[in-house]
Structure 1
Amino acid sequence: MPAPLAVPVPFLLHFPGSTVEDIAVFCVAALVAVTVSAESQGLAATLLGDRQSGGGKRFQFNAFLHLDPLGTLCFFVAGFGWAKEVKIDAAKFRHPRFYLMLSRLAGPLGNFMMASIAASIYALLTNFGFEDKAFSSVVVVNLMMAIYGLICVYPLPGSSIVGLVFRGGEGFDKTVRYVRLISPFLLLAWFVAARLLDRDVIGTVLHPLVRSIALFLTTGM
């Protein structure tokens, strides 16, 4: 049976305290998670009808081009983050609001699938006696991004659910524009305050879920 994951949930860096190895594997895991989230959304949008000539700026497979400044900072504060928003033209969809939601939610789905793949490799390595931290970090960071990504707050992919539930209107659309401007800052500020005060209300609910899923993926228990 595979050993427990070599990194905690959430996987956070501490300065001082974190080793060079911790920093390296965390950064790699975050870059993988961002790339998977963005490329998954782009692929889903393309398959659903929003095709762009040459793939546009979607399929770059360059993690640094998918980094969002605030989303990147959130990784270091909360153990998860978000990618730069993938441009999607919902007008090209047969069912614009529904397909837009499916395209956005493909991000968390992609992160979950990446965590599953990494968990399988982790289990294989540990069964052969190799001590692993790299794939453990990929499992945890991608699961964190998948679960937190379902929260219905912009710029997280789960916010697309709001657009499906509520019908647009001039006043509604204006409010949405303002919310989209300030909510990334408010979201980051929330997690900064949670870490400084050591009172993470959201994490109290979601971290046990992430641990349970990680345990199931790596051990089947």
Structure 2
Amino acid sequence: MPAFFSAAALQQAVILAPGLLIALVCHEVAHGYVAYLLGDPTAKSMGRLTLNPIRHLDPLGTLAFFFVQFGWAKPVPINPNYFKDPRKGMLLTAIAGPGVNFILACVFAIVLHLLASIPFTQGGLAQSVVVPLYYICEAGVFVNLVLGIFNLIPIPPLDGSNVLAYFLPPRLAYKYMSLSRYGFFILIGLILVGRFSGYSLVGQVIFPLVSGAAALLGVNI
């Protein structure tokens, strides 16, 4: 049986799934809701201000998380022409997604610590409930930190690019953001280069930051 169909792999997928669903959906809703507050009705008119995961999940992006530990959802459409200050509007909508992921990581960490304080007897009913929930919350901290930190990488169209673009001169910011059409290929290229060079964007950059942030929350990942 292939490794990705093993019982251990399926168990890991079940543990990761709740946190991943919450992380991806809330990330995209946060983008759309902040844009809506700033005057852009695009996401709302397209039914994207909903917690229904079917409206947000990208099948390929979801599968990618389980195999290479990063993924994506369908981007929420945003029209900066509705903003009074388009540059500032894009900055605020950009940081909303990772910001929600960091808040969710804190919430999962709090629940995890509460679960860890619950006494139970080995083999008892409480253990069969508390232990799985503990691992789900631990995974929730992990996936939210990964998505939050990964999306702050300043490669268009990731959220970090809109943050960086805000601080660049308008003409330079326009040229920089025009790289969005190549962003996916740049990311895939960096990952492939990492596979062959031994220097992985995810392994050497993202995971140490994730581990450090988790440690601040008292979670050992």
TM-score when normalising by structure 1: 0.78
Aligned to 2:41: 51
Q: Say whether residues 1:159 and 2:161 are aligned partners.
A: yes
Q: Which has the higher contact order (CA 8 A, sep 6+)?
A: 1
Aligned to 1:3: none
- Asked if the contact 1:104/1:160 (under 8 Å) is kept, the reply is yes
Q: Are residues 63 and 190 of structure 1, via their aligned partners in 2, closer, same or farther at CA, if it must alter by over 3 Å?
A: farther
**Matched ranges for 1:73-88 at <5 A:** 73-88=63-78
Where structure 2 has 5 or more consecutive residues not aligned to the other structure, the ranges are 120-129
- Structure number, greater radius of gyration: 2
Q: Say how many residue pairs are matched.
A: 205
Aligned to 1:71: 61
**Matched ranges for 1:46-195 at <5 A:** 46-52=36-42, 55-129=45-119, 130-131=130-131, 132-168=134-170, 176-177=177-178, 179-192=179-192, 194=194
- Asked if the contact 1:74/1:188 (under 8 Å) is kept, the reply is no
Q: Are residues 119 and 172 of structure 1, via their aligned partners in 2, closer, same or farther at CA, if it must alter by over 3 Å?
A: closer
Identical counterparts, % of pairs: 31
Supply the distance in 1 between the matched residues of 2:82 and 2:97 (Cα, whole angstroms). Answer: 20
TM-score when normalising by structure 2: 0.78
Q: Are residues 34 and 185 of structure 1, via their aligned partners in 2, closer, same or farther at CA, if it must alter by over 3 Å?
A: same
Which has the higher mean CA deviation after the structures are superposed, 151-160 or 200-209? 200-209
Which has the higher mean CA deviation after the structures are superposed, 153-162 or 194-203? 194-203
TM superposition shift of 1:160: 0.7
Aligned to 1:11: none
Q: Are residues 89 and 192 of structure 1, via their aligned partners in 2, closer, same or farther at CA, if it must alter by over 3 Å?
A: same
More helix by share: 2
TM superposition shift of 1:207: 1.9
Q: Are residues 69 and 190 of structure 1, via their aligned partners in 2, closer, same or farther at CA, if it must alter by over 3 Å?
A: farther
Aligned to 2:19: 29
Q: Are residues 186 and 21 of structure 1, via their aligned partners in 2, closer, same or farther at CA, if it must alter by over 3 Å?
A: same
Which has the higher mean CA deviation after the structures are superposed, 179-188 or 64-73? 64-73
Aligned to 1:203: 203
TM superposition shift of 1:102: 0.9
Q: Secondary structure at the match of 2:47?
A: coil
TM superposition shift of 1:147: 1.0
- Asked if the contact 1:140/1:214 (under 8 Å) is kept, the reply is yes
